[in-house]
Structure 1
């Protein structure tokens, strides 16, 4: 079981890397669809492992873009870890609407907030629309795919029994 969990984590992290290469046009070069696989992973992995996939996905996406925010990407990776872990707990508890509301609020509005103080209010206001759009796109794709993946997984598990 441990090997299966590690393999799935590596698979979702790799898909996050691929999603990180699908850029969302914005003022920031590191916005991408890297979060979609991490959000999908909550249907199959424990929260901690989904958080790890999200963290690795963000780092790979930022690296692919040339680390446009330098060391601040460490902060963003830690925020992604926390957000996806909480999202996963909400998913596992069955809070469907709450998990999406939380993700959009946390990733689209709260995660950029430290940059208001660390960089400048103007930077924060400038990046907020792009981050919110990227969050909404990642959410929309994952919201459509998660139920389909769960149905496929349910069918496969039934066939294996």
Structure 2
């Protein structure tokens, strides 16, 4: 990976930082609009690059939110990495709606399941409304932006 590609990934991590500052009211303060830049990066630059942006974006969002769950944010960053990689893989195979559905369902409903066992079912249910809203907004914004700006970023990354 050369310096131009690293710079483009840093740009998308920066966009995640901006999105991380747009919080959705929640029990945990890391629910934000930090995922849609990662979804864009997964489509433009590949699933692995998008996953890196997703994991880093979540960590920045968690830091901005005060790391309310401490080191458990590393688990969430790993989940984001996997979900964004899955989104990118499906989207690049032409399965756009499956990609959107898998990210939404995975982020809103499946990713918080470990916290039933770590904390409680009450914590899980308290998280659900904000996660559903956050996942929905991140997914919709990404699905709207991908076709509109894809030529610019895809060409820039391939020329790098």
TM-score (norm 2): 0.91
Encode CA deviations 1:38-95: one digit per residue, 9 max, x unaligned: 1111232121111111111100000001011111101100000011011111111111
Equivalence for 2:150: 150
Equivalence for 2:41: 41
Structure scoring higher RCO (CA < 8 A, sep ≥ 6) equals 2
Supply the distance in 2 between the matched residues of 1:108 and 1:122 (Cα, whole angstroms).
Answer: 16
Encode CA deviations 1:14-43: one digit per residue, 9 max, x unaligned: 111111011112222111110011111123
RMSD: 1.9
Supply the distance in 2 between the matched residues of 1:86 and 1:39 (Cα, whole angstroms).
Answer: 10
Could you list the runs of 5+ residues in structure 2 that have no partner in the other structure? none
Could you list the runs of 5+ residues in structure 1 that have no partner in the other structure? none
Supply the distance in 1 between the matched residues of 2:12 and 2:98 (Cα, whole angstroms).
Answer: 23
Supply the distance in 2 between the matched residues of 1:2 and 1:156 (Cα, whole angstroms).
Answer: 13
Q: Secondary structure at the match of 1:42?
A: helix
TM-score (norm 1): 0.91
* Higher radius of gyration, 1 or 2: 1
